[in-house]
Structure 1
Amino acid sequence: MSWISGPMVAFDLETTGTDIESDRIVTAAVVAMEPDGRVARTRTWLVDPGVAIPEQASAIHGISTEHARTQGVPAAPAIAEITQTLADGLGSGTPLVVMNARYDLSLLDRECRRHGIAPLADRLRGRPAHVIDPLVLDKHADRYRKGRRTLQALCEHYGVTLDDAHNAAADALAAARAARRVGAKHASIGSIELADLHDLQIHAAAQQAQSLQSYLRRTSDPEAIVEPAWPVVPRRVARPADGPARTRTRTRTSGS
């Protein structure tokens, strides 16, 4: 059975910003989707990130600092629940759909480490974990298509309804449906096994990062660095002897 006709779990975050190393989770959603496309269950979290939410971020997802502080749950237990929910789904063999996975999964990883919580990789204990990223797949399958590659743009291109953009549950469900449409339209993607699909995305994401980095260095920033790792950006700890370093790791560009 092709992965496009099987069950999926989809994940999405709304956050305080776009830096995986310093920004925080504000809302999260995990949506389980049946093979026929129906939603089996949805879990959502409103989190008090413990820091002020910038107005620019609030304007996107609609959550103010005051609302998060008065209505949200503390970050540490919420992050533990989110991470375990993902581990349970992946551990059962169900693929995890994440639009621009290197952003959401990397930020979740940093939040776990910030609060002393076992990250997702540790909870899986080496068990296979299959991630499906519609952003990476779409860029791989339709490399030269012009225009934006945001979730809204992908939904428009593949005929997926997205009624409430930047609502984590709505975005997660739309990402899963978009991933299926990508696989259905491009047989070379939709027909391969999940393990092979995961490996394809690792290589495709690295190639896409190299292409963007080369473009930026030619056109605007000679020192631009675009992170090639997928689906989680490794945590890099600078040694004191390294001294100050200028890095500009992009994780949320066209996939926001």
Structure 2
Amino acid sequence: MTWHRELLVGFDLETTGTDPYEARIVTGAVIEVRDGERLGHREWLADPGVEIPADAVAVHGITNERAAAEGGAPDRVADELADVLTGYWRAGVPVVAYNAAFDLTLLGAELRRHGLPSLRDRLTGQDVGPDAGQDTGQDTGQEPGGPVPSPVIDPYTIDREVDRYRRGKRNLEAVCAEYGVALESAHDASADALAAARLAIAIAGRHPKVAALGPAELHRRQIEWYAAWAADFQAFLRRKGTPDAVVDGTWPLREPVEQGV
């Protein structure tokens, strides 16, 4: 049986902004899906500790008043989300996130901001404190900071690769419409997480070559596909008059050592 018929975990964050290094978590959701059917479901609401801008409230509907009254502490929410996700990765269960590089990088920045163990540290069982994610300079035989969370399945990255020349938007709502996947309430974390998982299944159903890849190999391919897309987009921007444009091709997680988080 191929991966899209097995257990998948949809993941999504709604946030205070669009910069993954600066934005804060407002809501998060993790939903178990098997063969398109929704199983387990967990949801978080955070009081982000900063004002939620009006344009962000207009997107996801969580007001500052509600977040302050009902939301959990931001460090606790980030810690719980990270523990849940790493539990699935340790079990070999793919985590599906639409535009995973945004959500995982933002979660990583939140962990770093609060001095909590990074996703990589959790995967290696390291109990670290304020220096979480920092490079110690020691040769551990692993990538700096530990293993990258995997397997991750990103319908955004996969769709761009398998249908490169399709015109139109590539946001979750548009791509769900392309594949006939219902999106009940766009920019609700639970709805988006469920739709992302079902979208991954739909893409695999339309593209047998994607379905035939094992989760580990699909993860590796997405690293390559994302890097190639970033290089092409960077070249395009430079041709169009932005000579110093830089598009980060790292996927699915960026954890800069020096970043104003």
Q: Report the TM-score, using the length of structure 1 for normalisation.
A: 0.90
Contact 2:230 2:249 in 1 (8 A): yes
> 1:206-253: CA deviations, max 9, x gaps?
011111111112224222111100000131417xxxxxxxxxxxxxxx
Could you tell me which residue of structure 2 aligns to residue 44 of structure 1? 43
Q: Look up the SS of the partner of 1:226 in the other structure.
A: coil
Q: Distance in 2 between matches of 1:128 and 1:15?
A: 21
Within the alignment, does 1:161 sit opposite 2:161 as a pair?
A: no
Contact 1:91 1:128 in 2 (8 A): no
Shift of 1:80: 0.7
Counterpart residue identity of residue 28, structure 1 = G
> 1:163-215: CA deviations, max 9, x gaps?
10000000000000111111111111111111110100000000111111111
CA RMSD of aligned residues (A): 1.3
Q: Distance in 1 between matches of 2:192 and 2:148?
A: 27
Counterpart residue identity of residue 33, structure 1 = V
Could you tell me which residue of structure 1 aligns to residue 10 of structure 2? 10
Q: Distance in 2 between matches of 1:76 and 1:127?
A: 21
User: Which deviates more, 10-19 or 229-238?
Assistant: 229-238
Q: Which runs of 5+ in 2 are unaligned?
A: 125-146
Q: Distance in 2 between matches of 1:65 and 1:220?
A: 40
> 1:111-148: CA deviations, max 9, x gaps?
00101111211111149720000000000101111111
Contact 2:29 2:190 in 1 (8 A): yes
Counterpart residue identity of residue 2, structure 1 = T
Could you tell me which residue of structure 2 aligns to residue 20 of structure 1? 20
Q: Report the TM-score, using the length of structure 2 for normalisation.
A: 0.88
1:140 to 133, 152, 161: 161
Could you tell me which residue of structure 2 aligns to residue 72 of structure 1? 71
Could you tell me which residue of structure 2 aligns to residue 116 of structure 1? 115
Q: Distance in 2 between matches of 1:54 and 1:133?
A: 27
Counterpart residue identity of residue 228, structure 1 = G
Counterpart residue identity of residue 54, structure 2 = E
Could you tell me which residue of structure 2 aligns to residue 82 of structure 1? 81
Shift of 1:54: 0.6
Could you tell me which residue of structure 2 aligns to residue 221 of structure 1? 242
Could you tell me which residue of structure 2 aligns to residue 206 of structure 1? 227
Contact 1:183 1:189 in 2 (8 A): yes
Q: Distance in 2 between matches of 1:114 and 1:5?
A: 37
Q: Distance in 2 between matches of 1:134 and 1:52?
A: 31
Q: Look up the SS of the partner of 2:198 in the other structure.
A: helix
Identity of aligned residues (%): 44
Could you tell me which residue of structure 1 aligns to residue 143 of structure 2? none
Counterpart residue identity of residue 71, structure 2 = G
- Counting matched residue pairs gives 237
Contact 2:47 2:71 in 1 (8 A): yes
Counterpart residue identity of residue 186, structure 1 = H
Could you tell me which residue of structure 2 aligns to residue 171 of structure 1? 192
Counterpart residue identity of residue 16, structure 1 = T
Q: Distance in 2 between matches of 1:188 and 1:33?
A: 21
Q: CA separation of 1:18/1:127 partners in 2, compared to 1, >3 Å: closer, same or farther?
A: closer
User: Which deviates more, 119-128 or 2-11?
Assistant: 119-128
Could you tell me which residue of structure 1 aligns to residue 173 of structure 2? 152
1:184 to 205, 214, 234: 205
Could you tell me which residue of structure 2 aligns to residue 131 of structure 1? 152
Q: Which runs of 5+ in 1 are unaligned?
A: 239-256
Q: Distance in 2 between matches of 1:101 and 1:110?
A: 14
Counterpart residue identity of residue 235, structure 2 = S
Counterpart residue identity of residue 120, structure 1 = L
Q: CA separation of 1:128/1:67 partners in 2, compared to 1, >3 Å: closer, same or farther?
A: closer
